[in-house]
Structure 1
């Protein structure tokens, strides 16, 4: 008997089953099980919700990059919890849209202030114009990724200054306002990419060997080292400094320059995998919210948080000597542009 004849014989034996409703039942059951397992895996990848229900009524929060993505969701949640949110944004129109959402909430309070983190002069102007007697929470959230090599007018590589050095300067300029609060908090939003990166102290602009991934990773590693060293510098004050990892998040402006978005076909084909494996912006904001609101963290400083818990970052991120060297070099880099005779570098 030929193979084709054997195949026909097998089909004839199974024809009563194939003609019944059982194949449909099995197909539906398998489909449901696949959906359930997919949703369960998706929920696992999304990480935990902020475990704290605490409110921040009467407190003022400055969030950079609050017009979209993780920053937007962080701003909305902290406003729901009673915070007066200052949206520090580059795109004023987008910032106003978020502010309108907040003001539509019961007792929602929001202000919009324009700042370009890639310009130290803009950061200085923002800080000078910020009419606050005290600041309770500063969230250094704004950032760029996958940007081609570009130096600013002030001479800094775009990832380095936008993600790190601009926030370094902003933090020091706002430090007196943070110290004036009952308990000031500084939260640096880092990224998982710091693990595969290092700090190029002799080439922070990566002029010798640039890649967008290394530039992004270096800037995010620098934010953790900044939190680690400033946590030590400010340990005897009322101000804490911590870094958070939001996880891998889809639906942010970072993805615009990503290879995943390089063509429509690639972008379309990757959508199911991105949905399955990456967090959405609400999930990505949970650790920032936790670091901002939890009273259990009032004494926590110099730490690294991920999925709403203290975690261990890379070995480079725990190098205290490297953290101190980067801090000292960063002070030298910002001083010529902003003339800060009163930068706070000690516990006093």
Structure 2
């Protein structure tokens, strides 16, 4: 006799439970790897913000979020086509967004001087040194600097110093250096900052990101008591950025096919990577916090090398020589 209550194939199988478990595990991993969201909804109405490298990736997401919080945002970019496209996207998404596009090439000291000389803002409230390159072969600029060193660090070093009068004109200005976890493996060779001996792109990138942390540390000391704070951050491992175009992980279709699912699972998207930049820009409790290093919206310790005060001072003095500016005076407490 036929069974009057036939079993549902789904309920008689383990597969629905296995699939449900896999989905739950993947969701938990993605949530954990996504990191901490900016914990404050603080607005920055009327504040003027300059973000380098903001036509795409984390820079774009930072600009979008700060525009939605009332900031007047300047997209400081080398790629004007991309920057104008980004500006249009932001104005479509954020009602009454105030977006300005201005050209700057961080690999050219001349371009940086021109950017500052033609900047008509009387004050700058927030400067986010976000632009960067990675995985580039060895190449020097016309001014004699290795690409990673000048684009990621030295150009931002000069830009920050040239903007100091406008930063100091703001009530409580913030300088934010977007470094990287790669600074942990970085080292500084003051006699070979271009890394012309045994060059590798990975080491050049690590050095440039370490230099940004040391810059924040030393400038904070020298500007103690001023209205300007200088901090650095690690955005985490972020996918879908222009860095990935030259990555070994993008070297072939086969590698992409094998690796990209894991990248999706284990890396942040650009909006998640931007959260610590946003936090350092808006958090009222950080108004007098300076010289620190942040990750996932929390102050943490950088590498031991990044805490070397003598190295920070020596790199600072050397950098001033390279860009031909007068060093800020040392703190009287030293």
Which TM-score bucket, shorter chain as reference?
A: over 0.9
Q: CA deviation at 1:102?
A: 2.5
The structure with the largest alpha-carbon Rg is 1
Partner of 1:98: 86
Q: How much is the aligned-residue C-alpha RMSD, in angstroms?
A: 1.5
| Corresponding position: 1:125 with 2:114 | yes
Give CA deviations for 1:16-41 in whole Å, capped at 9, x if unaligned.
xxx97268631111011101111111
Partner of 2:4: none
Partner of 2:60: 72
Distance 1:217 1:181, change over 3 A: same
SS in 2 for 1:57: coil
TM score, norm. by length of structure 2? 0.95
Please identify runs of 4+ aligned residues in structure 1 that moved more than 3 A: 22-25, 343-348
Partner of 1:279: 268
TM score, norm. by length of structure 1? 0.91
Residue-pair matches, total: 325
- 1:177-188 alignment to 2 at 5 Å? 177-188=166-177
- 1:64-213 alignment to 2 at 5 Å? 64-104=52-92, 105-213=94-202
- Please say if residues 221 and 330 of structure 2, whose CA atoms lie closer than 8 Å, have aligned partners that are also in contact: no
- Please say if residues 237 and 347 of structure 1, whose CA atoms lie closer than 8 Å, have aligned partners that are also in contact: no
Partner of 1:31: 19
Give CA deviations for 1:118-171 in whole Å, capped at 9, x if unaligned.
011011111111111000000000000000000001000000000000000000
State the distance in 2 between where 1:324 and 1:24 align. Answer: 69
- Please say if residues 49 and 74 of structure 2, whose CA atoms lie closer than 8 Å, have aligned partners that are also in contact: yes
- Please say if residues 102 and 109 of structure 1, whose CA atoms lie closer than 8 Å, have aligned partners that are also in contact: no
Q: CA deviation at 1:269?
A: 1.4
State the distance in 2 between where 1:24 and 1:277 align. Answer: 34
Q: CA deviation at 1:346?
A: 5.4
State the distance in 2 between where 1:81 and 1:209 align. Answer: 46
SS in 1 for 2:14: helix
| Corresponding position: 1:328 with 2:331 | no
| Corresponding position: 1:224 with 2:210 | no
Q: Which runs of 5+ in 1 are unaligned?
A: 1-18
SS in 2 for 1:214: helix
Q: Which runs of 5+ in 2 are unaligned?
A: 1-6
| Corresponding position: 1:56 with 2:44 | yes
Q: CA deviation at 1:306?
A: 0.2
